[in-house]
Structure 1
């Protein structure tokens, strides 16, 4: 950025500041000369105005009004050439410049105005050339970031290239990615307001006292995939606008890629997640693929959703895949019979998973659980705890055992419950092993339904009388009364601890 301070530092021009030192940081975008007394009416701001003051005369009020008018339109500085109308800069003009913070400098007689103009224009041209060189280097980096790291990596690269805050919103105006850090809520709301005013607009700018906000639509043809917002202290220059345009093009290409490519990537991610659930996270290739789902700290967490039957789970998986893709998320979703397992970012809040469950629950009854955040090698553990949490959830509910500080998340407690289960429930377990029955599963369904015969029978897919007969046999084997709430609670904890 070319500033008044830079101009006055050019010794060959012999310029001397006479007033308005507080404005030395003002930026320059051109230099012009004019002898008009109302020159401000012909200027748009950012100029260095060079004049001999021939039309100003001796009236102090006129000279003060002249400088005030230039300051109102945003003139960056005023250069007064001495030796014609004035032998030196008048004291009243210097005082007015100090009051306004408008730099006023003296141009000595031997220095032509063209020399000042040429110096400013040459500097601006040099800076633009440097910015273009920077842009030519930034564009390949942005392209590589988009190809290897997706939208989040591209947003980070753009923010660094233009030195501004950047945020990517999906069509629902939810934040997909932001850089270099979380954007202030006030600025985020301003960006959303700009989009709401005209969602189909290619771009819009909102200028406030402390920020300039630029919004660009990400789309292809008549389709909109999201919006890119940029927040900075000044308006974007030509190079920055070019880089923002490059970013929106890359994002549109990423989101509009052929559906077959999208399906292939989803299937690849499904296989990678299945391997991680099984405990295999070895090999740099698999870790690199799973890393697409991680937050900036490299952490992930699992969410498990359980449906009534495999067909409902398959439908729920399709809806979940579409929803995550719509949110610009790397899609890691795996179905295991009636379970649908999703890999989320480690910094995703429980509310995000609750929203996913609510979306799927509109089509089919589903319950959910979410596991703790951890490193990639801990995916299996997060899935295990998410499954345990899901078993504690009612239909339409998502449970976070870690967030609720459940005892079942503590290894010593789980081990004690597992040991108690093996001892206390041994007659039922032995009967199932010897006769191929499912008494243990029937007991668990009955306990999870809190003794509700209808709910438990539906969960096991049997008639209520069949389930009642099984529970009576279990009561005889264990010598317990399952109408007692405390007994049911103890046995449920043992079964959950054993499953954990």
Structure 2
């Protein structure tokens, strides 16, 4: 970055600051010379104005002259002495100090062309350095796209341009942000820009404090999302080139062929299935890590359907929805259960939105597990399944978030032990004869003893359900009319092993 401070530090130029120290960090983009009193009318900002002051003999014009230059954004003023002035007048220096406009003295032996050449050479060197950095950043972004997906591309772009970057999906929800979370005020400005013309290829919004650049990510007439870049300075040519490269990579990721998409989804499916079975090797963790948040955490959601066909239909819906939201579709179907991995920092609202989607394919209950390290995803799945058993159709249960006793490890262990011991006769009978007394008992208890509701949930006649409960009473030697007995059995069924 070429600043006034840098220019004054060039000893060979022998420049001496006389006023305006507060503006030493102003950026320079060129150096010009002019003897016009209204030079400000011909300048656009960022310049070092060099003058001999031949027309500045009247002290009454000094303050207005400097103020007009400061108003248009001139970075600094250099007064060449030995012509109109032997030194910079104190009154002129005081005016520059008040404005915060750097005013320096150029000694007679130093030609203005030497200052101009120094500024231009430094800008060229910096531009060359930026281009070299860009040639290194582009392959890093490409590798990031291949190994880490959209979130990794956003991180690499933010690092390369030195500004805050956010990726939004077509619904303007945040997919990824780097190097930090985008402030809500900036995010709202970006959404306002996009709201005016969502199909626009790009837009720029500038204030005294920040510059926002927003670009569309798409192919043809299809919009996949938008990329926002926010910083104190406008993007230069090199930064815009890097933004363009990132947009291309993100568009390619979203527009990949259907066959590749299916293969990737199946890879995620297999990796999750292997992790649930307890085999979390480095390769599995690397694949599942694509779904993790910045802290490397994930959380599982389990959707339970009445039949496997509904679960299969919902799997396709969930995969499409996650893809639409720029999320890795880490989804696995286990018979009538659908297991989904979300980011560890995802709120319950994310899972609730997916539940709304899957309910259109068939009524489902849902449970969400706690955030865990990727290597402990099986534990999050286990707790999500436990929560799911506590949910009614169309309901999402978060045992940890609701501070349920079922989320307490010692309680779960005690219930699990009681489940195996107390319900053994029913479980053994189901296993030996292919009956479903356990599921009937759970339906009856969850319906709070309402025969009609419980029978409908099981798809049987009331008399059939009554007969089943009588058999359960005989096997367990209990009275299901007793409220405490029903409560204990329900807790065992919810907290025990499915």
Answer yes or no: same fold by TM over 0.5.
yes
State the alpha-carbon separation in 2 of the partners of residues 427 and 387 from structure 1: 24
Match of 2:97 in 1: 98
* CA displacement at 1:405 relative to structure 2: 2.4
* CA displacement at 1:7 relative to structure 2: 0.8
For residues 211-250 of structure 1, what are the structure 2 equivalents within 5 Å?
211-250=210-249
Match of 1:172 in 2: 171
Match of 2:455 in 1: 457
For residues 341-360 of structure 1, what are the structure 2 equivalents within 5 Å?
341-360=339-358
- The CA deviation string for residues 458-478 of structure 1, in whole angstroms up to 9 with x for no partner, is 332322221122113323443
Q: Say if 1:166 and 1:231, in contact at 8 Å, map to a contact too.
A: yes
| Corresponding residue to 2:371 among 358, 370, 373 | 373
Q: Say if 1:17 and 1:106, in contact at 8 Å, map to a contact too.
A: yes
State the alpha-carbon separation in 2 of the partners of residues 129 and 493 from structure 1: 69
For residues 104-183 of structure 1, what are the structure 2 equivalents within 5 Å?
104-183=103-182
State the alpha-carbon separation in 2 of the partners of residues 150 and 37 from structure 1: 57
Match of 1:466 in 2: 464
State the alpha-carbon separation in 2 of the partners of residues 49 and 205 from structure 1: 29
Q: Say if 2:50 and 2:78, in contact at 8 Å, map to a contact too.
A: yes
Q: Indicate the SS of the match to 1:499.
A: coil
Match of 1:22 in 2: 22
Q: 1:251 to 1:92 in 2, by over 3 A?
A: same
State the alpha-carbon separation in 1 of the partners of residues 107 and 427 from structure 2: 102
State the alpha-carbon separation in 1 of the partners of residues 210 and 371 from structure 2: 36
Match of 1:340 in 2: 338
Query: Does residue 201 of structure 1 match 2:176?
Result: no
Query: Does residue 398 of structure 1 match 2:396?
Result: yes
Match of 1:432 in 2: 430
Q: Which runs of 4+ in 1 moved over 4 A?
A: none
Q: Indicate the SS of the match to 2:496.
A: helix
Match of 1:5 in 2: 5
State the alpha-carbon separation in 2 of the partners of residues 94 and 422 from structure 1: 89
Q: Say if 1:47 and 1:77, in contact at 8 Å, map to a contact too.
A: yes
**RMSD over aligned Cα, in angstroms?**
1.7
Match of 1:46 in 2: 46
Q: Indicate the SS of the match to 2:177.
A: strand
Query: Does residue 55 of structure 1 match 2:55?
Result: yes
* CA displacement at 1:275 relative to structure 2: 1.6
State the alpha-carbon separation in 2 of the partners of residues 258 and 335 from structure 1: 23
Q: How many residues align?
A: 498
Query: Does residue 420 of structure 1 match 2:418?
Result: yes
Match of 1:260 in 2: 259
Q: Indicate the SS of the match to 1:5.
A: helix
Q: Indicate the SS of the match to 1:492.
A: helix
Q: Say if 1:308 and 1:459, in contact at 8 Å, map to a contact too.
A: no
Q: 1:229 to 1:53 in 2, by over 3 A?
A: same
Q: Indicate the SS of the match to 1:403.
A: coil
Gaps of 5+ in 1: none
* CA displacement at 1:373 relative to structure 2: 1.8
Q: 1:429 to 1:124 in 2, by over 3 A?
A: closer
Name the stretch that deviates more: 362-371 or 100-109: 362-371
State the alpha-carbon separation in 1 of the partners of residues 230 and 470 from structure 2: 68
Query: Does residue 66 of structure 1 match 2:65?
Result: yes
- The CA deviation string for residues 407-430 of structure 1, in whole angstroms up to 9 with x for no partner, is 223333223223333443344334
Query: Does residue 272 of structure 1 match 2:241?
Result: no
- The CA deviation string for residues 447-490 of structure 1, in whole angstroms up to 9 with x for no partner, is 12322333322332322221122113323443433244332211
* CA displacement at 1:179 relative to structure 2: 0.9
Match of 1:498 in 2: 496
Q: Say if 2:419 and 2:497, in contact at 8 Å, map to a contact too.
A: no
Q: Say if 1:14 and 1:107, in contact at 8 Å, map to a contact too.
A: yes
Q: 1:306 to 1:64 in 2, by over 3 A?
A: same
